[in-house]
């Protein structure tokens, strides 16, 4: 992730580009709220020395229709042990709603006014790099980071971000995303890697979660 000081030195992005990114973000939101996707999750927990002490692997098909979510479990393993049938009922039921659990694109029309954007040195492939940070007070629902975007289509190709203010008991948290999965609404999330550390004093949990998304289809 580029140092946030670069935001001070960079120029403001063109408003038309932000409009295009916002339109694409809204299109993707509409599509994903009425689609199915295969989700593969590998979660690792580390001890104080950095060694892996627990690994889980979950693969499932997720269908979303508005506020309703249906999940079909393919496999669940814990430290290599197959616990699919033991976990099926638990993982297939609709998950409880948790306010703010999802990271919404800073380019989404509902979020754009909450951020300040800057154009960073572009990557060699001709795409555009944009930095972002809260335009006002920091919070655990607003992020700092950068994105690589396609100025022609309005697709976000990659994101690197962290909360502008960590939630309670969270010492570190960072996210790296790739958005290259083809959909009728543009490029959607294909990989999300999250790592961090959280907990109380001597009960810290260090973790890494890598989620891949594939085979998007409309309902």
Domains along the chain with CATH numbers: 6-92+105-218 (2.50.20)
DSSP 184: T
Q: How many residues are recorded in the chain?
A: 219
| CA-atom Rg of the chain in angstroms | 18
Confidence of residue 35 (pLDDT cuts 50, 70, 90): very high
User: Range with the lowest mean pLDDT among 27-41, 83-97, 153-167, 199-213?
Assistant: 83-97
Confidence of residue 10 (pLDDT cuts 50, 70, 90): low
- Structural element, H or E, at residue 24: helix 15-32
- Structural element, H or E, at residue 199: strand 191-200
Using the predicted structure, report yes or no on whether residue 174 has a pLDDT greater than 60.
yes
Percent of the residues in the chain that have a pLDDT greater than 70, as a whole number = 90
pTM strictly above 0.85: yes
Contact criterion met (CB below 8 Å) for 139 and 165: yes
CA distance 101 to 98: 6
CA distance 159 to 187: 13
Contact criterion met (CB below 8 Å) for 124 and 141: no
Using the predicted structure, report yes or no on whether residue 189 has a pLDDT greater than 90.
yes
Cβ neighbours around 53 below 10 Å, total: 12
Confidence of residue 100 (pLDDT cuts 50, 70, 90): very low
Confidence of residue 176 (pLDDT cuts 50, 70, 90): very high
Residue with tokens 């297939």: 92
pLDDT for residue 94: 57
CA distance 157 to 189: 9
Q: Summarize the confidence of residues 100-106 as an average pLDDT.
A: 70
């Amino acid at each position: 992730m580029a140092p946030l000081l670069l935001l001070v030195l960079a120029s403001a992005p063109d408003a038309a580009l932000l409009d295009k990114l916002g339109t694409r973000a809204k299109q993707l939101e509409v599509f994903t709220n009425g689609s199915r996707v295969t989700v593969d999750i590998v979660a690792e927990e580390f001890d104080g020395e950095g060694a892996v002490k627990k690994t889980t692997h979950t693969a499932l098909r997720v269908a979303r229709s508005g506020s309703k979510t249906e999940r079909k479990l393919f496999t669940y393993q814990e430290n290599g042990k197959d616990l699919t049938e033991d976990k099926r009922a638990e993982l297939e039921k609709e998950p409880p709603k948790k306010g703010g659990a999802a990271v919404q694109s800073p380019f989404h029309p509902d979020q754009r006014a909450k951020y300040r954007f800057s154009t960073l040195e572009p990557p060699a492939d001709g795409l555009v790099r944009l930095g972002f940070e809260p335009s006002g007070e920091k919070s655990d629902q607003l992020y700092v980071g950068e994105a690589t975007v396609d100025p022609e289509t309005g697709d976000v190709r990659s994101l690197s971000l962290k909360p502008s203010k960590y939630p309670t008991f969270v010492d570190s948290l960072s996210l790296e995303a790739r958005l290259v999965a083809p959909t009728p609404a543009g490029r959607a999330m294909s990989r999300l890697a999250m790592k961090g550390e959280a907990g109380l004093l001597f009960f810290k949990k260090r973790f890494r979660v890598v989620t891949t998304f594939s085979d998007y289809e409309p309902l």
